[in-house]
Amino acid sequence: MNRDAFLQRVRDAARSGNAHRVHLRDDLPPRVGYCGAGEDAVARMATEVNQVGGQAQIVDRLTDAGPALLALCKEYGARTAFCWEHPVLERLGLDQLLQTADIRRLNHGLLAALPRDEQRREILAADMGISSASWTVAETGSLAMLSAPGRERLASLAPPVHVAIVTRSQILPDLFDLFDKLVAAGPEYLPSNLTLITGPSKTGDLELRLTTGVHGPGKWRVIVCREDG
Q: Is 131 left (phi over 0), alpha (psi -120 to 50) or beta?
A: beta
Instruction: Write down the pLDDT at residue 215.
Output: 72
pTM of the model: 0.84
Tell me what the pLDDT averaged over the chain comes to: 89
User: Residues 195, 159: contact at Cβ < 8 Å?
Assistant: no
Q: Is the pLDDT of residue 17 over 90?
A: no
Label the pairing between strands 161-167 and 128-131.
Answer: parallel
Q: What are phi and psi of 124, to 5 degrees?
A: -70, -20
Instruction: Write down the pLDDT at residue 216.
Output: 76
For residue range 158-215, what is the model confidence (pLDDT) as tens digits? 999 999 999 999 999 999 999 999 999 888 888 888 999 999 877 766 666 767 766 7
Give residue 1's pLDDT band: very low, low, confident or very high (50, 70, 90).
low
For residue range 27-73, what is the model confidence (pLDDT) as tens digits? 767 777 888 899 999 999 999 999 999 999 999 999 999 999 999 99
Domains and CATH numbers, the chain: 32-203+214-225 (3.40.50.10420)
